[in-house]
Amino acid sequence: MKSAKDNRVLCVLLAPCIIGWSTAIYGANEVYIERIDYGKIYCVSFDTALRVVTAYQRFDDVLNIVNYHFTSLLNYCVDSGGDSVSIVTKMLASLKRLPPEVRKRFTVLSFISQRTSLSKSTILRVLKKLQEDGSLTMSHGRLNTFSLPEPLRCPLPSATVARDNATDNSE
């Protein structure tokens, strides 16, 4: 699914998939579907879809789908700003979540550049840094492994127990 405004990829849709429940989130006429693989795209009216969902009691599935698209939109909005390392890291995490057969279709560079406003040289610079750190391995430009770096953690102060002589009944 792509944004009509800037032609950036919002998310990769895998069949079977239902879209359109969260159209209000994206705004009218601001997204479009670009078919890459073989297949057919079917469209049913909202009323028909709602009747089917109600008849088969599949509201949990619909909410999962809406949540997925809403999360994709939030990631798209959040990733528009910020430092390049965090943007590339988030994109690598989303690429890693795709099924292996889908993930192999994309090079890491093309996947990130189609979804962000980062230049290819900036993306490559961050990818090189992640490879040097050992958190990223690629083969022919495709993702092999990616592990998020551990966040910095502050040591917790040790807990001490204060004794109150007034309540000490050990004597």
Same domain? For 56 and 112 the reply is no
Q: Which domain holds residue 137?
A: 83-152
Domain contains 18: yes
Domain contains 160: no
Q: What is the pLDDT of residue 152?
A: 46
Tell me how far apart the alpha carbons of residues 41 and 17 are, in angstroms, rounded to a whole number: 10
* Three-point CA angle 147, 151, 152, nearest 5°: 145
Q: What is the pLDDT of residue 150?
A: 62
Q: What is the pLDDT of residue 137?
A: 95
Same domain? For 21 and 71 the reply is yes
- 132: domain CATH number is 1.10.10
Instruction: Compute the CA torsion angle 130, 133, 136, 142 (nearest 10 deg).
Output: 60
Note whether 76 and 8 are within 8 A (CB).
yes
Same domain? For 129 and 71 the reply is no
Note whether 69 and 77 are within 8 A (CB).
no
Q: Reduce the DSSP state of residue 19 to 3 states and report it.
A: coil
User: Which run of H or E residues covers position 138?
Assistant: strand 136-139
* Number of structural domains found in the chain: 2
Q: What is the pLDDT of residue 144?
A: 94
Q: How many CA atoms lie within 13 A of 76 on its CB side?
A: 22
Q: Which of 26, 52, 78 is the last residue of a domain?
A: 78
* Three-point CA angle 115, 96, 70, nearest 5°: 55
Report strand pairing: 31-32 vs 136-139: unpaired
Domain contains 94: yes
Two tokens at 90? 């988030």
Task: Give the mean pLDDT per block of 10 residues along the chain (171 residues).
Answer: 75 68 52 67 76 89 76 65 82 88 91 89 95 93 85 54 53 48
| The model's pTM | 0.61
